[in-house]
């Protein structure tokens, strides 16, 4: 049976490159750890939002969602594994070919400012994460996606890094 299926599909023809690897945006890791991570912790990582492991773009942050489920570790310093995860999660919602259209930029931006619909804007009746593109935290995201870099010794306040 399996042979017959393979034969028929072969005769019809499958498209090429269906399992091609995705090239992610090559963005600066020190800038992310130093500047972007605090923005994500503050604005996205609440347990009812993207601190919920059931949601897409779920993030780890102190006192919220942690890789180690031990409640005694809730406020421990962010681990390298957690930072690796957050960095990968952020790259996953960046359109490497069209960075201006990246989900990480448009989802938290108010619709009036050109953003997408965001359930989080309605959840607490507080409006969207960023009401305008000139929000300093929003600028951190755009700068990072635009190619900004940071020295590896740059340290997020309170992070214990490097």
Partner 1 sequence: MRLQLAIVVALTATAHADPEGDTATVVARTSGYLDNDDTAISTSTIAVKAKPKDEIVVSARYTADAVSSASVDVITAATERWTELRSEVAGGVAWVDSSMQLSADYIYSHENDWDSHTIGLGGSRDFLNHNLTLGLGAGYVTNAVGRRDDMTFSEKLNAVSGSVRAVWPASKDDLLQVSYDIARATGYQASPYRHAFARGPAGALIAFPEQNPELRTRHAVTLRWNHHLLDDTALRSHLRAYVDDWGIASVTTGTELVYGLDDFELSGNVRVYAQRHARFYQDVYDEPRVYMTADRELSSFQDVFAGVRAAWVPLDDKLSIDLSFTGFYFRFPEFSRLPSRLGATAGLGLVWAL
Instruction: Name the site residues for partner 1 (rule: CB under 8 A).
Output: 5, 8-9, 12-15, 17-22, 24, 49-50, 52-58, 60, 67, 81-82, 84-85, 88-89, 92-93, 103, 106, 111, 114-117, 119-120
Task: Report in angstroms how near the CB of residue 36 gets to partner 1 at its nearest.
Answer: 16
**First-to-final CA distance of the chain:** 58
Nearer to partner 1 by C-beta: 17 or 153? 17
Q: Using CA atoms in the order 119, 109, 87, 143, what is the torsion angle rounded to 10 degrees? A: 180
Task: Report in angstroms how near the CB of residue 48 gets to partner 1 at its nearest.
Answer: 10
Nearer to partner 1 by C-beta: 39 or 91? 91
Count of alpha carbons within 13 Å of 59, Cβ hemisphere only? Answer: 28
Task: Report in angstroms how near the CB of residue 140 gets to partner 1 at its nearest.
Answer: 21
**8 A C-beta contact, residue 86 and residue 34:** no
Nearer to partner 1 by C-beta: 52 or 143? 52
**What letter would DSSP give residue 35?**
I
Cα 42 to Cα 12, 31, 50, 62, 89: the distances in Å are: 52, 16, 11, 10, 16
Nearer to partner 1 by C-beta: 32 or 60? 60
Task: Report in angstroms how near the CB of residue 15 gets to partner 1 at its nearest.
Answer: 5
């Amino acid at each position: 049976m399996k042979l017959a299926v393979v034969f028929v599909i072969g005769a019809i023809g499958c498209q090429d490159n269906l399992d091609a690897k995705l090239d992610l945006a090559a963005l600066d890791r020190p800038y992310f750890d130093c500047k972007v991570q605090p923005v994500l912790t503050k604005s996205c990582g609440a347990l009812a939002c993207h601190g919920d492991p059931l949601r897409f773009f779920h993030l780890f942050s102190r006192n919220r969602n942690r890789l180690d489920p031990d409640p005694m570790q809730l406020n421990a310093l962010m681990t390298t594994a957690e930072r690796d995860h957050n960095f990968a999660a952020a790259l996953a919602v960046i359109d490497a070919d069209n960075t201006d259209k990246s989900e990480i930029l448009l989802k938290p931006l108010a619709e009036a400012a050109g953003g997408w619909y965001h359930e989080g804007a309605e959840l607490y009746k507080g409006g969207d994460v960023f009401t305008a593109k000139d929000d300093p935290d929003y600028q951190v995201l755009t700068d990072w996606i635009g190619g900004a870099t940071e020295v590896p010794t740059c340290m997020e306040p309170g992070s214990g890094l490097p």
